[in-house]
Structure formats: C-alpha cells, structure tokens
Amino acid sequence: MSWTRRNALAALPAAAFLPAFAGAQPTAQPIAAPPKDPLLAPCLLIGGRKQIENCSYALKKLQSDEAKAFAKAEIDEHETIKKNLKGLGYDYPVTAAPGTQPNQPTAWSVTAGAAKLPTEAAAMVAVDHEVADRCILNYRSEMDKLSGKEFDKRFIGHQLDEHMTLLDKVQTFRRHASPKMETVLADGQKTIETHIATLKRIMAGLDKGKAE
C-alpha cells in the first residue's frame, strides 16, 4: 500500500470501519426513526390487562363507595384504550397455551407475524405477559390478607403508584408514536391525570377518616 493511501485511510474516522446496522447507508442528513407502535401497543395492552384483573378482583372486597367507583372507572379506562388500540390494528398479540396449571403464570406463545414484531421482540412480549400474570397472582395473595378500610387504603395507594408509572410511560411513548397512536396516547394521558387527582382526593379522605 502506498504512503498516500495509508495516510488517506488513517484520516478516516473510526466509525467508517464499523459495520452498518440493518443495511443502513451513510447519509449527510439524520433519518427519523420509524414509529414504534408495534412495540408500544403490547406494553399498553399488557399493563391494561393487569389493571382490569386487579380492579375486578378488588371490587369484590372494597367497602368505600368512592373506591368502588374508581375501580369501575379504571376498568372502563383500560377497556377504552384497548378498544382504541384495536381500532389501529393492535390487539393482544399472544395466545395462552393450553394446560396451564392453576395459580401459575400462563405459558404464552407469540406469533411474530401476528404481533407485527421481530421474533426476539415477540418473545419478550410473551415474557411480559408472564410477568403480568405473576403480578396479578402476587397482588391477590397480598390483598387477600387485608379487609375493610385497610384493604381500601392499600388499593387506592397501589392504584396511585400504578397511575404515576403509567403517566411516565405515556408521556415517553408519545415521543415515539405515529400520529394516530399519539392521539390515543394523548387522550389516555388526560384520563390518567384525572385519575391521579381523584386517587389523591380519595386517599386524603381515607386518611382523614382514619385520624378521626
């Protein structure tokens, strides 16, 4: 190799020798990342499934009328999100495998094509479903030990934590979503913020009642 060629190569940045990812070609202008809707939708649906299950369970034990009303509103909220996502073509991208043992997380299977996800991502969605199942089982195991106002207060506190986490997710997801998905998330965020305010008010009322 001539001296001139060696020096020309040495002048190149190190990145020039790295392999291109996913067949990307060098470009002078940054390319906007495509919307991540196929990844965002399963996350929202799985979280919503967990919330619907937990609130449906809690309704059988709650005593406070306000707590009961909130549990029903929470179920409606996630059913609405589920319906809106289904309108965009996203539904639960998994099926429960037959023969699951009682009180054990379901063995989920995922078809990458149906999920509109790469195989590796689809596999993680299946794992997330199993995590949700475990969360539901553990939640019921702990809440079964409680009753009366203690149950109501724990339910409201847990819901407040869940909604703060969901707000974090939705605010972040909106930056990565397509315009249609962003509209669903924007509407959902308004409901989440309303629910947070309601939960804080209910919690304050339960605390006041305990003090009295």
Would residue 23 count as lying in a domain? no
pLDDT of residue 150: 95
pLDDT one-digit tens code per residue, 16-44:
433 333 444 544 444 456 678 988 999 99
Residue 160 domain boundaries: 35-211
Would residue 3 count as lying in a domain? no
The alpha carbon of 68 is separated from its chain's Cα centroid by a whole number of angstroms, namely 23
**pTM of the predicted protein model:** 0.74
101 Cβ contact list (under 8 Å, min separation 6): none
pLDDT one-digit tens code per residue, 52-63:
999 999 999 999
Task: Give Dmax (Cα) for the chain.
Answer: 90
The pLDDT confidence band at residue 210, using thresholds 50, 70 and 90, is: low
Of 3-7, 8-12, 81-85, 154-158, which one has max mean pLDDT?
154-158
The pLDDT confidence band at residue 188, using thresholds 50, 70 and 90, is: very high
Tell me the CATH number at 65.
1.20.1260.10
Contact present, 160 and 194 (Cβ < 8 Å): no
pLDDT of residue 105: 59
Q: Which parts of 54-196 are beta strand (E)?
A: 94-96, 108-110
Is a pLDDT exceeding 80 seen at residue 192?
A: yes
Contact present, 125 and 49 (Cβ < 8 Å): no
Report the number of distinct structural domains present in the chain.
1
Lowest-confidence region among 12-16, 104-108, 194-198:
12-16
Nearest to 129 by CA among 105, 112, 111: 105
Would residue 25 count as lying in a domain? no
Would residue 128 count as lying in a domain? yes
Name the more confident of 80 and 99. Answer: 80
In terms of DSSP bridges, do strands 94-96 and 108-110 run parallel, antiparallel, or are they unpaired?
antiparallel
Would residue 21 count as lying in a domain? no
pLDDT of residue 73: 94
Name the more confident of 203 and 94. Answer: 203
The alpha carbon of 182 is separated from its chain's Cα centroid by a whole number of angstroms, namely 15
